Amino acid sequence: MAVKLVIVALLALVVVSLFQALLVMLKGGEGTTRMSKHLGRRLAFSVAVMALLLVLLATGVITPNARPY
């Protein structure tokens, strides 16, 4: 259960970072470096989610659905 909460929290951080970059973009002006910072964070959180899922699959903590229908 804790693993699912960590994954959901990381995905929530991805969405929050995306909206932070949107707000910086809508403000305009000198926010280009700040917007790239938020988008870089979003990328880092996405990579962390994928790496965590791969590690959990490799160790057998989570198992993929054998029958997708």
Query: Considering only CA atoms, which of 1, 26, 59, 3 is closest in space to residue 11?
Result: 3
> What pLDDT tens digit does each residue of the chain (69 aa) get?
888 899 999 999 999 999 988 888 888 766 566 788 888 889 999 999 999 999 999 998 988 888 877
pLDDT of residue 28: 77
pLDDT of residue 29: 66
pTM for this entry: 0.78
Other residues' Cβ atoms within 10 Å of the Cβ of residue 38 = 20
pLDDT of residue 32: 65
Domain ranges of the chain: 19-49
pLDDT of residue 33: 67
